[in-house]
Amino acid sequence: MGLKPAALPDFPWDSLTPYRARATQHPDGLVDLSVGTPVDPTPVVVQEALRAAANSPGYPTTHGTAALREAVVAWFARRRGVEGLDPSAVLPTVGSKELVALAPALLGFGAGDVIVHPTVAYPTYDVGARLAGATPLPSDVPAEWVDVAGVKLVWVNSPSNPTGAVASREQLAAMVDAARSIGAVVFSDECYAELTWDGSGTAPSILDPEVCGGSTDGVVAVYSLSKQSNLAGYRAAFAAGDAGVISRLLEVRKHAGFIVPGPVQAAMAAALGDDAHVATQRELYARRRATLASGLEKVGFRIDHSSAGLYLWSTRGEDCWDTIAWLAELGIVAAPGAFYGDAGAKHVRIALTATDERVLAASLRLTNAR
């Protein structure tokens, strides 16, 4: 195991700098739809829990408080159809990105090992493999990797960032079955699960009994409160599932000092226990989504997938950088699909994370550009 920063690609968002500069010159100002960072207030119930726990002079536990782990278990049962999860198999993390980036290294994978991730994907899955010295393998179906030597970890991302596609229980079960057949572990990044737009409720979890056969062996769900609860600034996330895998992560994290602050743990427990603020936020994003989708479709964009999550995966049938340049002339910044793999080269990812006023401004600019 070893971290190898020299193998990392350039940070992709740096390449947006000239397009952002052009968009900033728009007379009505910049509309930044390039990053999925929340702009709405942190829920009052969460702020109050944070304040109540502010007197926190001692070190928090790496494993998290019993109250937090029990809140995670209750949330999985109430919102995701996962009953009987063991609280000891829950681990809070400092946001989910650090776990995505470090999981292969923390589990001891390295040279000669293969880390599978979706072909159109958040770049950090690839980065995590490279940091560990392992080999990233983009693939969406088990037939492409089940016979590949050295596959140790398979990343699933549903709902997907950037596409918003949601995997069915049958698709997830096929991934789990294939990984188990070769002794690999499946990590499922599910942080957009509460933000679905097709009326189907929350997206299926890798821990759903119909997916994992009622056993958490070899499966770990990763979840973040950044999106559903506007807690990106709190760095509040958790992993849950296979007790052995969680124990290995916990042991290394104890040594390394990867600990979620005590007041944040209290805030997380409060957020997980309150469904009302999530429903309110979902409705807000749904309205913004409808406003942006209308403007995009009126000007000739096609929106693919996007049945969940905080993005519209959109295309004009041209190279994504041409679309990015066109949007910049309208004062709008989006994320080029090329950031997420070669298969995304003709799409752009347009985030819903802007104020109502900025979302409406973007939609009107698009409509008037016809």
For 188-229, the pLDDT digits (tens) are 999 999 999 998 889 999 999 999 999 999 999 999 999 999
Q: Is 50 contained in some domain?
A: no
Q: Is the pLDDT of residue 71 over 90?
A: yes
Tell me: do 121 and 265 sit in the same domain: yes
- Three-state DSSP at 329 gives helix
What tens digit of pLDDT does each residue of 256-292 get? 999 999 999 999 999 999 999 999 999 999 999 999 9
Name 134's Cβ contacts closer than 8 Å, sequence gap at least 6.
Answer: 104, 109, 110, 111, 112, 113, 114, 115, 152
pTM: 0.94
pLDDT over 70, % of the chain: 97
Using 50, 70 and 90 to split pLDDT, how confident is the model at 10?
Answer: low
**Where in the sequence is the domain holding 89, given as residue range(s)?**
55-274
What CATH number is given to the structural domain containing 225?
A: 3.40.640.10
Contact 227, 191 (CB under 8 A): yes
Position 17: which residue type? T
Q: Where are the alpha helices (DSSP H) in the chain?
A: 17-24, 44-52, 66-80, 97-106, 124-131, 169-182, 209-212, 226-229, 243-256, 262-272, 276-298, 320-329, 356-368
The pLDDT of residue 201: 86
Using 50, 70 and 90 to split pLDDT, how confident is the model at 14?
Answer: confident
Tokens at 62, concatenated? 């790496």
Tell me: do 122 and 197 sit in the same domain: yes
Find tokens 């070769």 and name the residue: 182
Tell me: do 303 and 281 sit in the same domain: yes
Using 50, 70 and 90 to split pLDDT, how confident is the model at 6?
Answer: very low
Tell me: do 27 and 90 sit in the same domain: no
Tell me: do 65 and 139 sit in the same domain: yes
Quote the CA–CA distance of 62 and 305 in Å, as a whole number: 38
C-alpha closest to that of 222 among 81, 76, 118: 76
Tell me: do 222 and 270 sit in the same domain: yes
Pick 11 or 25 by higher pLDDT: 25
Tokens at 151, concatenated? 């596959």
Quote the CA–CA distance of 75 and 223 in Å, as a whole number: 11
Strands 185-189 and 219-224, how do they pair? Answer: parallel
Tell me: do 129 and 256 sit in the same domain: yes
Instruction: Quote the number of domains for the chain.
Output: 2
- The DSSP call for residue 282 is H
Using 50, 70 and 90 to split pLDDT, how confident is the model at 366?
Answer: very high
Using 50, 70 and 90 to split pLDDT, how confident is the model at 15?
Answer: confident
Tell me: do 269 and 288 sit in the same domain: no
Tell me: do 299 and 322 sit in the same domain: yes
Q: Where are the alpha helices (DSSP H) in 81-147?
A: 97-106, 124-131
**Given 214, 249, 274, which residue is the final one in a domain?**
274
How far from chain centre, in Å, is Cα 198? 19
The pLDDT of residue 3: 45
Q: Is 47 contained in some domain?
A: no
Quote the CA–CA distance of 222 and 239 in Å, as a whole number: 4
Tell me: do 26 and 152 sit in the same domain: no
Contact 317, 346 (CB under 8 A): yes
- Three-state DSSP at 182 gives helix
**Given 239, 274, 309, which residue is the final one in a domain?**
274
What tens digit of pLDDT does each residue of 336-363 get? 999 999 999 999 999 999 999 999 999 9
Q: Is 48 contained in some domain?
A: no
Q: Is the pLDDT of residue 1 over 80?
A: no
Q: Is 9 contained in some domain?
A: yes
C-alpha closest to that of 208 among 161, 251, 171: 171
Q: Is 49 contained in some domain?
A: no
What CATH number is given to the structural domain containing 31?
A: 3.90.1150.10
Alpha-carbon dihedral angle through residues 104, 108, 111, 112, given to the nearest 10 degrees: -90
The pLDDT of residue 8: 64
Tell me: do 262 and 288 sit in the same domain: no
**Given 236, 252, 274, which residue is the final one in a domain?**
274
Contact 205, 80 (CB under 8 A): yes
Quote the CA–CA distance of 157 and 189 in Å, as a whole number: 5
The pLDDT of residue 4: 47
Using 50, 70 and 90 to split pLDDT, how confident is the model at 37?
Answer: very high
Quote the CA–CA distance of 313 and 335 in Å, as a whole number: 10
Tell me: do 66 and 189 sit in the same domain: yes
